[in-house]
Chain A
Amino acid sequence: MNTSLNYAYYPGCSSTGTSVEYDMSSRAICAALGIQLQDVPDWSCCGSTPAHTVDHSLSSALSARNLDQVASMGLDSCITPCPSCLANLKTAKHKMQDENFRDKVNKLLEKPANTQVETKSVLQILVEDYGIENIKKKVVKPLTGLVVGAYYGCILNRPAELMQFDSREHPMAMDNIMEALGATVVPFPLKVECCGASFGIPRKDVVMRLSGKLLDTAQEIGALALVTACPLCQMNLDMRQSQINRANGTKHNIPIFYFTQLLGLALGLTEKELGMDKLCVSPRTLLNSIAKEEQIKEKAA
């Protein structure tokens, strides 16, 4: 393990609102593991899905402004918790290698952007730079008795040529982390199936169907909770779970965690600093049962 892990940190817009607990828990686990984060100064929106559906030069300009901000920090790598931000920042760097495209984008900016910076996900650096074995050494409260499925969503690893991490069809990064934390991981067959993405507002019916299928499957395989790495996936499955139940006539009550929240818990961080109280589907009963299982195990030992 590199002893001085230091990254620029791009929180992304949802971290200031609906996914604040992802941001809180990402920062908290990095601090606990000695990973240094420096916020990208005066970061702006990457453009997310809406910008690339309008025009690629617009999308890349919105992202390139941020890559340039990272370069001005004197750092060469940036991490973000959000897969959509990740995809846009990486796409901008990749596409701007083409000179014509680069000129087109730079025309939209105040000054030509330095886009040499590498962007990775928080998950990727935990696995590749910090190492799961090293995470395992830091576990003080194992997640004993937690039966969990890992749901990656569609764009964390895809397209593979661009994302360069884990598998496009059968990613394992979060499964392996959860196992290292002492949880019982059940293979989730719909790991990379889309949750309905940003259609929750304009086409809620689509999200009810797609996210409903994910929750039904979680129940069928006996997962007591799902872990995610994406603000949009988490929001559709957690915040909209009551809507899904109403629309589909189901009674799911499945807590949907960010993987960083469960990692933090195992590292001994408090529920408060991991934003457990921000989740819509209450994880209370489940968290109590993990603590109980651990007590029983300790007594037996």
Chain B
Amino acid sequence: MKVININSSYDSDFVREVEEESGQKLNLCYQCGKCTAGCPYTDEYDISVSQIMRLTQAGQKEKVLQSNSLWLCATCESCTSRCPNEIDVALIMDVLRHMARREGYTGTGRVKTFWDSFLSSVEKNGRVFEVGLLVNYISHTGRFWTDVDLGPKVLPKGKIHFKPTEMQGKKEVAKIFMRFNEESAK
């Protein structure tokens, strides 16, 4: 067990921001651990979800935002569904992830790269273009062997397309991203 001196490192702004952005009351968490008990990803986490909750209550901004767990939460809603105090824990994880992004944390990287590749496919085509997304992900990670073994199995099924589907409003979608980036830069 690690001991943290919260007198010297308590960040009250961080606690307030998490509460404001999530609309949740952090103090309602009494550390029963039910969220962690049901979390399918807890084996992969560096900090368990109930400990993320405790560290967030204690205003440990840096420790929380640099946690890889934020990037491995799949928003499966088990924690939210089972919290006896009805805290939307998955929403708090989402909000922490937003803050981590804004502060430049990326976790170990590959999950964020995948999500970014997904969104750049939407920005470009208006809809997700699966092959384009995979190629983009591979070009950013160098993991050129990703799912190559599935090729012979999946290609004959005729589900994989090598061109994005056309939609008229794709410029409208691109503009959503453009305006979002402008707003975020303010």
- Interface residue ranges, A against B (CB under 8 Å): 13-14, 16-18, 20-21, 42-45, 47-58, 61-62, 65, 107-110, 154-155, 158-160, 168-169, 192-194, 196-203, 206, 209-210, 239-240, 242-243, 277-278, 280
Contact = CB atoms under 8 A, between A and B. Distances in A.
A49 B159 CA distance: 22
Contact of B127 (A16, A18, A155): A16
A54 to B, nearest CB: 6
| Interface size range on B against A | 35 or more
B80 A158 contact: yes
A56 B101 CA distance: 13
A201 B147 contact: yes
B158 to A, nearest CB: 7
B75 A58 contact: no
B72 A18 contact: no
Given A16-B165, A44-B127, A278-B157, A198 B176 contact: no
A45 B126 contact: yes
Contacts of A240: 150
Contacts of B78: 154, 158, 192, 194
B81 interface: yes
B53 to A, nearest CB: 17
Nearest to B173: A44
B160, B179, B184: residue with the most chain A Cβ atoms closer than 10 Å? B179
Nearest to A109: B176
B153 A280 contact: yes
Given A17-B130, A45-B126, A201 B114 contact: yes
Interface in B82-118: 88, 90, 94, 97-98, 101, 110-111, 113-116, 118
Given A62-B122, A194-B78, A202 B110 contact: yes
